[in-house]
Structure 1
């Protein structure tokens, strides 16, 4: 008798769009689909995606996958969902969306951030592991401050991945959940003990009944309903696991599952993440965010800046006629040196540490500087931010022995960008030549949740190591020069921070 081939369906809900992928049990992507997410923007700073558009993208990408392999639906053992993390959806009793999903670039909650910071940010960092940033906690509090009538109607606030899973499984508000890779962004959690913090809820006078239960990413939360099966082509009764946030997924999919490992996620956000075995929040300098790893017992402190977003913005501005490629610009930038030219990559505010009113700057521009010099300065600024984060990681975890950095996502395919980061940090970078770390993570948690895999760490290493590329080593003379430049960069950031506090906020 022929054994039915097994698959896992992964859904990656991103800012640019929703990607669906069908993976075999070895983590190989068999076929995939994509549907663009078109966020709405307004002059008032609103950047939102309606729940209807979010679900339409999920259905369209899922159908694209199953149309490519119509025989696969019966073999899908589970569905895993990875979601963008900063925004939130307010739902009613029947899981209907009462608010749109708001982007991490939607900064209307800045007033809420400032009020919450005054009320007790140190306690939030101590218990929640994160400063108060443009993310779930401040956004929920913003609804409470500015739209009390909507806030009163909302039964639960949930992240994007939870909202989609709930729609697929036919959940009600009483079933609402949030997985533990998201809770550091809520401002109301005791992340070390994996519970909602009565102390923080009291501090901000926030009702606990608006918050969902906390679960593990691999917990099975329900099964595909007949209605969703009819709409998507999935098989009714297919198990759905809780899912996780995209940052956590990138770490797991890249194999960041052992102490002393460090990962550069060179995507829309440039994220430098370490893997540690103890929870040590950055209460003093408020630079690092310290969430749980998907792997129980591990933590992944990180800092991030919108590096890829900034490089893409610059490329779009100067390449309006489409006359050359991103690679050509990067190669031209690699051939120049930037003595005295600095860039601050804070177009959406500074995040680590949180200074929402900060903005982007070039300093030191001369007539002889060209587009390649300006692009080089953007790459260098991201590397300087990474060095800043890495120094703080060493301060908080002096026992770590970090010898190299894994680098993944789109930016890892740029030899020139990777070389700049290696030179500034003074250590080798190991490119991961795969584009689908989030899909692999979704497959791992889904497979673990239904008993296909017995060890998530081993599967992550097995799936990622075969994609290791050639190490990019630092060039000693450049590392020495960048060490001096880095000190100047930090001074400039400090001076500009003071100017922003005085004249902009």
Structure 2
């Protein structure tokens, strides 16, 4: 292992692509970022242009190499994480036939209900209900509503699969993605072919690559075409990519028994590893071999958290933006200052954070957001703090549901962009009434992709070994006991409001 060698982690998020150049000890020595645009053609629909993922990769990698003054010979491995369930149709050369259906797109809720109604045995891994975000409902929607696109498509794949093809020139599938979002279960023999035939998707497997590769593994090499665009050496090892939140869990080092990783970004994902299946909860699922072969990964999530904050910023924070520009600070600093001046509980405001439906524990794509309790005494700071409190209540609900079904929780790690807000971190700790574990590297998903790259580079033999060397716990955020009673009351109102709206 050369002291001047580094790995590159590519983190394809909802709002941007981040490129992190990382050393063997997990230090990020250079970083680049490029925005990604999302369009919303109709309520609950969300789409992205796949070509923008690649152009963002070129920009972000170039920024990282230039800012760190790092030569192409120093990059010895590449890792990749992407949003999950971002589905696109393309020809065999990877040319998209339409914009990709972003992970948060809920248009296929009728198809999801139909798939769930089959009662197929594979549904036990997803608590009996398929999300409209996932591969099979979206593919079925395409087949029914855009028949020409579906017929022409040689490939119906995810963002990770398409990006791996752009990087290596080869088509593969990620075991991480298919085990989590495609209803693939090794204990039951793999693909749920009977289920797909029952709903009219018996031809779908012909549009999928045949090779399924475990996360962080494979024989991928950077193609000459990709190397020229990215400014890297052809033949650089490329680890099989996976879901951003799952790489974020690895980047937090939250892989032990009793560990829960809470990845706070545009959405919030909750992940835990288990040697046994935990079934029957409102969590999204219990997935065999999804991260480490031989183990189950439990997952839950909130469809919209950080994206709600961004929605507020875009539509209602004009004055704050002007102030931020005047002071030369980020707008979220101004918003956090306003929210910090408001007492816990936001003077009676209750918000349901179901802007894009409820992923867990209700699995209700028709759920909608609500702001209740407004008065003339409330201002922008109240609203923004209440959004922080609502999203934290959503995480508490998810963790309590898991505990009721046998999930043991000892440590809660937070990662993702949400950890940049000290206020949001403290509210999480206060609402959960648990210490929050923070690691040194705040871009945990990018670090997770770099850890996968470290396996491809041959630095380490597995994720546990790599995490021990590359992840450092920095500190704990302790809950404030003085806020417990206020947040217990708020939490009960948060739960009751859902049932009032959805009865």
What is the TM-score with the length of structure 1 in the denominator? 0.88
Aligned to 2:467: 460
CA distance in 2 between counterparts of 1:435 and 1:473 reads 18
Aligned to 1:363: 372
Q: Does the aligned pair in 1 maintain the 2:11–2:82 contact within 8 Å? A: yes
Distance 1:128 1:201, change over 3 A: farther
| Matching of residues 75-154 of structure 1 within 5 Å | 75-120=74-119, 123=121, 125-128=123-126, 131-154=130-153
Distance 1:169 1:404, change over 3 A: closer
SS in 1 for 2:286: coil
SS in 1 for 2:318: coil
Deviation of 1:118 after TM superposition, in Å, equals 3.7
CA distance in 1 between counterparts of 2:131 and 2:429 reads 31
| Matching of residues 213-228 of structure 1 within 5 Å | 213-228=211-226
Q: Does the aligned pair in 2 maintain the 1:86–1:185 contact within 8 Å? A: no
Deviation of 1:394 after TM superposition, in Å, equals 1.0
CA distance in 1 between counterparts of 2:344 and 2:228 reads 58
Aligned to 1:351: 359
Q: Does the aligned pair in 2 maintain the 1:37–1:53 contact within 8 Å? A: yes
CA distance in 2 between counterparts of 1:37 and 1:414 reads 22
Q: 2:326 aligned with 1:326, yes or no?
A: no
Aligned to 2:488: 483
How many residues align? The count is 486
Aligned to 2:247: 249
Q: Does the aligned pair in 2 maintain the 1:220–1:239 contact within 8 Å? A: no
CA distance in 2 between counterparts of 1:99 and 1:287 reads 31
Distance 1:41 1:60, change over 3 A: same
Aligned to 2:450: 443
Pick from 374, 381, 387 the counterpart of residue 396 of structure 2: 387
Q: Does the aligned pair in 2 maintain the 1:9–1:21 contact within 8 Å? A: yes
Q: Does the aligned pair in 2 maintain the 1:190–1:196 contact within 8 Å? A: yes
Distance 1:44 1:491, change over 3 A: closer
Show CA shifts across 1:190-210 (max 9, x none). Answer: 265572122322332322222
| Matching of residues 34-433 of structure 1 within 5 Å | 34-42=33-41, 47-68=46-67, 72-120=71-119, 123=121, 125-128=123-126, 131-171=130-170, 176-190=171-185, 192=187, 195-206=190-201, 207=203, 208-212=205-209, 213-282=211-280, 285-291=281-287, 292-305=289-302, 306-321=304-319, 322=321, 323=323, 325-334=331-340, 335-338=342-345, 340-352=348-360, 353-398=362-407, 400=408, 402-433=409-440
CA distance in 2 between counterparts of 1:194 and 1:6 reads 41
CA distance in 1 between counterparts of 2:189 and 2:295 reads 13
CA distance in 1 between counterparts of 2:261 and 2:70 reads 37
Deviates more, 1:62-71 or 1:130-139: 62-71
Deviation of 1:293 after TM superposition, in Å, equals 4.9
Distance 1:96 1:349, change over 3 A: same
Deviation of 1:272 after TM superposition, in Å, equals 2.9
CA distance in 2 between counterparts of 1:281 and 1:440 reads 30
Q: Does the aligned pair in 1 maintain the 2:109–2:365 contact within 8 Å? A: yes
Show CA shifts across 1:318-350 (max 9, x none). Answer: 320223543344344344243542100111122
CA distance in 2 between counterparts of 1:468 and 1:48 reads 37
Q: Does the aligned pair in 2 maintain the 1:17–1:37 contact within 8 Å? A: yes
Q: Does the aligned pair in 1 maintain the 2:97–2:153 contact within 8 Å? A: yes
Deviates more, 1:317-326 or 1:224-233: 317-326
Q: Does the aligned pair in 1 maintain the 2:396–2:431 contact within 8 Å? A: yes
Q: Which runs of 5+ in 1 are unaligned?
A: 499-505
Deviates more, 1:358-367 or 1:217-226: 217-226
Distance 1:487 1:145, change over 3 A: same
Deviation of 1:105 after TM superposition, in Å, equals 3.5
Q: Does the aligned pair in 2 maintain the 1:124–1:132 contact within 8 Å? A: no
CA distance in 2 between counterparts of 1:459 and 1:438 reads 14
CA distance in 1 between counterparts of 2:70 and 2:385 reads 49
For the aligned residues, what is the CA RMSD?
2.7
CA distance in 2 between counterparts of 1:156 and 1:147 reads 15
SS in 1 for 2:274: coil
SS in 2 for 1:365: coil
Distance 1:123 1:379, change over 3 A: farther
More contact order relative to length (CA 8 Å, sep ≥ 6): 2
CA distance in 2 between counterparts of 1:186 and 1:287 reads 13
